[in-house]
Chain A
Amino acid sequence: DTAVSQTPKYLVTQMGNDKSIKCEQNLGHDTMYWYKQDSKKFLKIMFSYNNKELIINETVPNRFSPKSPDKAHLNLHINSLELGDSAVYFCASSQDSRGHQPQHFGDGTRLSIL
């Protein structure tokens, strides 16, 4: 009964490949997020969707494209992977986008680029 689940947990791939990370939440939340935690341990927002509509799109390379087929899912597709993309990617959800609702996080996807 995991609330926010993301797959895969680990992803090791070659530079230049295209990969996707999937995220699903069963909390009935309206808002979902993607965060990147880099080697310096900062958790930085990448994207946020509210009811399948993009509301936050931080300065992220165009190689990163989020897709929300429905409000329970927010997938992240990454084209032409680069060494600097190595990080832990966290998916999260919250009841709404008003910021005073706690965000619930998945356990992260550890992406390693060879």
Chain B
Amino acid sequence: DQQVKQNSPSLSVQEGRISILNCDYTNSMFDYFLWYKKYPAEGPTFLISISSIKDKNEDGRFTVFLNKSAKHLSLHIVPSQPGDSAVYFCAASAPIGAGSYQLTFGKGTKLSVIP
């Protein structure tokens, strides 16, 4: 039972164009969403996040959009650069009691930016 789904295992984009990575979720208790980037043989690194009370958060070339009614979020990278080639994980946070939270990760989307 995947609560966080990234339905595209891979995505190829030309350098300079926009990359759009999508993520769907099913658990209405998720109240915070994060994107992580992962290079081979390294751990995931935090990229950008968004609270469920917002619909957009921007940080430089990266923008995350949240559509709560559709339970959908997306990560836009513009312009895409070859160094952006990596696996991108969507993660969602939900309370588990006693003030603690738990992250649930999607399966990841491998982005390839072609020079």
Chain B residues with CB under 8 Å of A104's CB are 45-46
Q: For residue B49, which residue of chain A has the nearest CB? A: A102
B101 touches A106 (CB 8 A): no
Q: For residue B110, which residue of chain A has the nearest CB? A: A41
The count of chain A contact residues (Cβ–Cβ below 8 Å) is 24
Give the CA-CA distance A100 to B33 in the complex, in Å: 9
- Is B105 positioned at the interface, with any CB of A under 8 Å from its CB? yes
B107 touches A42 (CB 8 A): yes
- A 73-114 binary contact with B (CB < 8 Å = 1; else 0): 000000000000000001010000111101111111000000
Interface of B is mostly: strand
- Is B28 positioned at the interface, with any CB of A under 8 Å from its CB? no
Query: Which B13-72 residues sit within 8 Å CB-CB of chain A?
Result: 32, 34, 36, 41-46, 49, 51
Query: Which B63-115 residues sit within 8 Å CB-CB of chain A?
Result: 89, 93-96, 98-105, 107-108
Chain B nearest CB from A33 CB (Å) reads 8
Chain A nearest CB from B15 CB (Å) reads 26
The count of chain B contact residues (Cβ–Cβ below 8 Å) is 26
A99 touches B100 (CB 8 A): yes
Give the CA-CA distance A105 to B36 in the complex, in Å: 10
- Is A45 positioned at the interface, with any CB of B under 8 Å from its CB? yes
- Is A4 positioned at the interface, with any CB of B under 8 Å from its CB? yes
Chain A residues with CB under 8 Å of B34's CB are 102
Give the CA-CA distance A43 to B104 in the complex, in Å: 8
Which are the 10 A-B pairs with shortest beta-carbon distances? A99-B101, A105-B43, A102-B46, A99-B93, A43-B105, A97-B100, A107-B43, A105-B44, A55-B100, A100-B32
Chain B residues near A (Cβ < 8 Å): 32, 34, 36, 41-46, 49, 51, 89, 93-96, 98-105, 107-108
